Amino acid sequence: MKKLLALATALTVVLLLSVGPAAAQTYPIAVDRNSVTLTYWPIGVGVLAGTSGTAAGLSYQFNPQWDLLVGYRSGPGGPPTPTLFTFGGRYHLRPPAPGWDTFATVQYASPSGGAASYLMVGGGAVQNVAPGVKAYEIATYAFLPAGANIFTNLGLQFELQRNWSFVTGLDVSTGTGYLGVTFDFSTR
């Protein structure tokens, strides 16, 4: 746990100092390999105060190394409410220790409203910190048309029962928290 906290803290400091955040760019998160994750986050600060956003993420395992990633985000903001569709892959690297999952991602993002599409690359780590509890840190480098940005998510996933988990996290770039549920369809 101490190593994960040190790693997350170091990555967060580096990312916060390297590139400034854009407004409300939380990306869908599907931590488990074969799962659907639905998240909701209220925005209580900044220009978008009083708005909220929802997101859905899907992960499907093709083989031991590769997962398909599909995501959809609606809001915050408006009118009209901005939406974002993402599509890509996640490559699982050799874990540094038992109970870890490390990965690299590449995704294509298509926003609504006539905005230009862009590419995202990233990586992350997931660690089983206790029975039924996973901690994760995911960093995404987005090649936005107005300039590149890095977005970081830190979170915890609590298993409620075999297929269902509760997700809570922090979008570091906006300083907002989110809540959600995950359905893991690989355990059926």
What is the pLDDT at residue 10? 37
Whether 186 contacts 32, CB under 8 Å: yes
Run of H or E residues at 3: helix 2-18
What is the pLDDT at residue 129? 95
- Number of other CB atoms surrounding residue 38 within 10 Å: 16
What is the pLDDT at residue 76? 62
What is the pLDDT at residue 1? 47
What is the pLDDT at residue 176? 79
CA–CA separation, 8 and 10 (whole Å): 6
- What's the Cα-to-Cα distance from 37 to each of 42, 59, 85, 101, 128, rounded to whole Å? 17, 9, 15, 18, 18
CA–CA separation, 184 and 89 (whole Å): 18
Digit-coded pLDDT (tens) for 75-100: 765 545 578 899 999 999 999 999 99
Please name the residue that has the structure tokens 């089983």.
128
Which CATH architecture describes the domain 2-174? Beta Barrel (2.40)
Question: Taking the CA of residue 65 as centre, how many other CA atoms within 13 Å lie in the half-sphere pointing to its CB?
Answer: 4
The residue extents of the domains of the chain are: 2-174
In the chain, which residues have pLDDT < 50? 1-25, 79
What is the pLDDT at residue 148? 87
CA–CA separation, 53 and 24 (whole Å): 9
